[in-house]
Amino acid sequence: MPSTRPTRVLIIGYVWPEPRSSAAGGHMMQIIESFLQQGWHITFSSPAGIGEHKADLATLGIDEVSIALNNSSFDTFITELAPDIVLFDRFMMEEQFGWRVEKHCPQALRVLETSDLQSLRDARQQQLKARLKLDADTDDFSSLFAPAQRETFEQMAVTDLAQREIAAIYRCDLNLMISEYEIDLLVEHFKVPRALLHWCPLMVDSVPGQFVPFDQRQHFLSIGNFRHAPNWDAVLWMKTAIWPLIRQQLPTAQLHVYGAYTPPKATALHNPAQGFHVLNWAEDALEVMSNARICMAPLRFGAGIKGKIADAMLCGTPNVTTPVGAEGMHGDLPWAGAIEQSASAIAAAAVQLYQSPDAWHQAQQHGTALLAQRYLQSTHGPALVECIEACRAGLQQHRRNNFTGAMLRHHQHKSTQYMSQWIEAKNRTV
């Protein structure tokens, strides 16, 4: 008789998911929902502390288990759980726990939720720092926004972070990629087999048919977790360069800046006289987005795709962003607002959209079309499950085809295992 037990999934989270604080948290909950729709039994574990905006997983029937780094208690836990699928939330969790999973549950499918390529984001941040060091007063960042992928690869490839992250990708059976740009970068330049990568973007349940009208909206809006470095940099750029240009043309305009975990350095930027309002965390991000006229997302570096922009489209709110902000989000379809490369061009586009009902409505329609064609849960949820099931069905051959991954697991897991065991032994003697 075949087993009738439901498929067991263990998720090892870098943090506990906070869908209202970050796009990464929202994406994790979308993946979880896709699994729940299959009737799979999910256990979510993490070595992190509990954040103030953590999702209530228990109400969804998900078991919550706190785990410890460098501690053999995890071995007993995973052996007893015997999961069929283990999903690592970001590559650092694969580094920490991958060797333990392979040792105690060798037949479990190992999946990595990359969230975005952190080594890509870090390389771009270093490029920005170098550009600002060369010319702190520059207005045009087109040289940062349009490098060839080969140039980006060469800057990433020499970094420790990229070597660690790409190694983790090779060691896993399947990697969930949120951006098609990143898939192309991995396949064409890092030579990662395409069979190891699955496009799994942000997902929406449906596309709204009605929005708050243009003439009932007011103000510009920016939103994003302040712990995410690209968001903080974007706020600084708006404060120092972009917003003054907008206020020159719209003297009574207001910008409302929302973000989880607002630090004192951000609060210090609050200046109502300049129309620059730092308003901390939004209790309902979609509500404030729906009542804003323009979403500002002037990201000078970053990776993946942007939750704030997907939310803007979901609320019918045109956005103004950069090539980094729009990367991987629209394919060949028209953009839901404007994509610009300098402070002056961003300000001009924002003012034009703010004042023109025709341009504003056209951008809104583009956003609706984007969501319908690229982001529906009804498309991507089943595709994710189908890909996972196909990998499980042919796992033995799938792993034989990935010799580089097997080689990296053999060497990396040994060194990681011995380091972890040394730390655990050391901790017992303290």
Q: What is the pLDDT of residues 275-312, one digit of tens each?
A: 999 998 888 899 999 999 999 999 999 999 999 999 99
Architecture category of domain 214-374 in CATH: 3-Layer(aba) Sandwich (3.40)
In angstroms, the CA 420 to CA 101 distance is 14
414 band by pLDDT with thresholds 50, 70 and 90: low
pLDDT for the residue numbered 413: 56
pLDDT for the residue numbered 52: 81
Q: Which homologous superfamily does the CATH classification assign to the domain defined by 8-119+150-203+377-429?
A: Glycogen Phosphorylase B; (3.40.50.2000)
Buried b (16+ CB within 10 A) or exposed e, 162-185: bebbbbbbbbbbbbbbbbbbbbeb
H/E element holding 237?
Answer: helix 229-237
> What is the 8-class DSSP label of residue 204?
B
Q: What is the mean pLDDT of residues 176-185?
A: 96
Share of the chain above pLDDT 90, in %: 82
Least confident range from 127-136, 188-197, 288-297, 413-422: namely: 413-422
1 band by pLDDT with thresholds 50, 70 and 90: very low
Q: For residue range 41-94, list pLDDT tens digits in order.
A: 999 999 999 988 899 999 999 999 999 999 999 999 999 999 999 999 999 999
Q: Can you read off the two tokens belonging to residue 14?
A: 């870098």
Least confident range from 147-151, 178-182, 211-215, 283-287: namely: 147-151
171, 110 Cβ separation under 8 angstroms: yes
pLDDT for the residue numbered 23: 84
357, 214 Cβ separation under 8 angstroms: yes
CA-based nearest residue to 78, from 40, 103, 104: 104
CA-based nearest residue to 238, from 208, 273, 277, 199: 277
SS (H, E, C) 147-186: CCHHHHHHHHHCCHHHHHHHHHHHHCCEEEECCHHHHHHH
CA-based nearest residue to 298, from 341, 333, 328, 331: 341
Helix (H, G, I), strand (E, B) or coil at 329: coil
Q: What is the mean pLDDT of residues 394-399?
A: 96
Say which residue, 340 or 260, is predicted with more confidence: 340
Same fold, 8-119+150-203+377-429 and 214-374: yes
Contacts with 239 (C-beta within 8 Å, 6 or more apart), sequence order: 269, 276
Q: What is the mean pLDDT of the chain?
A: 93
Domain positions in the chain: 8-119+150-203+377-429, 214-374
Residue 140 reports pLDDT greater than 60: yes
